[in-house]
Amino acid sequence: MERKARLKKLLPEGGWLRYSEHIGARGIDFFRVVCDHDLEGIVAKLKTAPYSPERSTWLKIKNPNYSQAVDRHERFAPKQPKIAA
């Protein structure tokens, strides 16, 4: 929580990078809203878990019905060179 408080002081308001408040007791409700808005998912961590660059304690929880996940790999696949016949 100390690290998050420091981060909040560093980020300017109205910039392209936004600070998110901690959501402590309603994570399941928040995830449902994320899914209802067809967002990709959430990233979560226990507020008491230490920050460690060597070993992450963060969890990525994906929306199983995220509409843009279908065939997404095709958008980012390396393009194959065209072979002249």
Helix (H) or strand (E) holding 73: helix 72-76
Greater confidence (78 vs 3) lies with 3
**82 pLDDT more than 80:** no
Mean pLDDT across 63-71:
86
What is the pTM (predicted TM-score) of this model? 0.62
The two structure tokens encoding residue 57: 């304690």
Q: Where are the alpha helices (DSSP H) in 1-85?
A: 2-10, 27-36, 72-76
pLDDT of residue 22: 82
In this predicted model, what pLDDT tens digit does every residue of 5-62 receive, in sequence order?
888 899 888 888 888 888 888 889 999 999 999 999 998 888 788 878 888 888 899 9
